[in-house]
């Protein structure tokens, strides 16, 4: 079974993913990290030097390389489901989980950020909040196709595991 964690920047995909993988004795993988390893550059550098389209292609290629793996929790990037038919590929390969966090909470979490995420670099306050709302509104159509929509701001890993149980049992593990 592959478990894909999907959601906006700052929704806690990597943190939740690590906890979840630990509890299930699954491996954990962070898609952004794998793209950085493949390209030998940080995400910001890939965006700056090669552009977003190039990043999306690399991201899709790395995702594709994971689809035959097993017993793995994969923390996706915030845009992963929205490009290159990635959402369908993930839905066919495993269970998709949308970590839903309200835009105000995302804005609070992302406001202290120091240029790690190129899509919100240099933004803060009302401008950041506005940008998050607009980007999220454009992405929710993809995020909401997930098998599980999880209230990530108000619940913990135990609750997520309960929601995943039927999928794990179906796989016989």
Lay out the sheet containing 148-151: strands in order across.
27-30, 72-75, 2-6, 95-100, 148-151
Residues 6+ apart with CB under 8 A from 145: 81, 87, 91, 96
Task: Out of 2, 9, 16, 132, point to the residue binding ligand S3P (CB under 6 A).
Answer: 9
Residue in 119, 148, 149, 153 binding ligand S3P, rule: CB under 6 A: 119
For residue 61, the number of C-alpha atoms closer than 13 Å in the C-beta half-sphere is: 12
- Does the footprint of ligand S3P cover residue 32 (CB under 6 A)? yes
Binding range to ligand S3P, per CB under 6 A, among 21-29, 77-85, 101-109, 146-154: 77-85
- Nearest distance, CB of residue 54 and ligand S3P, angstroms: 12
98 closest CA partner among 64, 156, 146? 146
Tokens 């999928």 -> residue: 167
Stretch that binds ligand S3P, among 65-73, 88-96, 115-123, 145-153 (CB under 6 A): 115-123
**Sign of the Cα pseudo-torsion (16, 22, 25, 27, in order):** positive
Q: Does 118 bind ligand S3P (CB under 6 A)?
A: yes
Three-class DSSP category at 4? strand
Nearest approach, Cβ of residue 8 and ligand S3P (Å): 7
Q: Does 79 bind ligand S3P (CB under 6 A)?
A: yes
* Interface residue list for ligand S3P (CB under 6 A): 9, 13, 32, 43, 77-79, 117-119
């Amino acid at each position: 079974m592959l478990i894909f964690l999907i959601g906006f920047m700052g929704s806690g995909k990597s943190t939740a993913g690590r906890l979840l993988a630990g509890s299930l004795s699954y491996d954990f993988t962070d898609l952004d990290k794998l793209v950085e390893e493949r390209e030998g550059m940080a995400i910001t550098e890939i965006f700056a030097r090669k552009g977003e389209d190039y990043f999306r292609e690399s991201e899709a290629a790395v995702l594709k390389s994971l689809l035959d793996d097993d017993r793995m929790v994969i923390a996706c990037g915030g845009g992963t489901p929205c490009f290159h038919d990635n959402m369908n590929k993930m839905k066919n390969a495993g269970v998709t989980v949308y970590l839903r966090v309200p835009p105000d909470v995302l804005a609070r979490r992302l406001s202290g950020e120091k240029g790690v995420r190129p899509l919100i670099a240099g933004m803060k306050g009302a401008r950041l909040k506005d940008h998050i709302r607009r980007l999220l509104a454009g992405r929710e159509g993809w995020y909401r196709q997930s098998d599980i929509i999880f209230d990530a701001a108000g619940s913990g890993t135990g609750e997520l595991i309960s929601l995943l149980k039927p999928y794990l049992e179906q796989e016989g593990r």
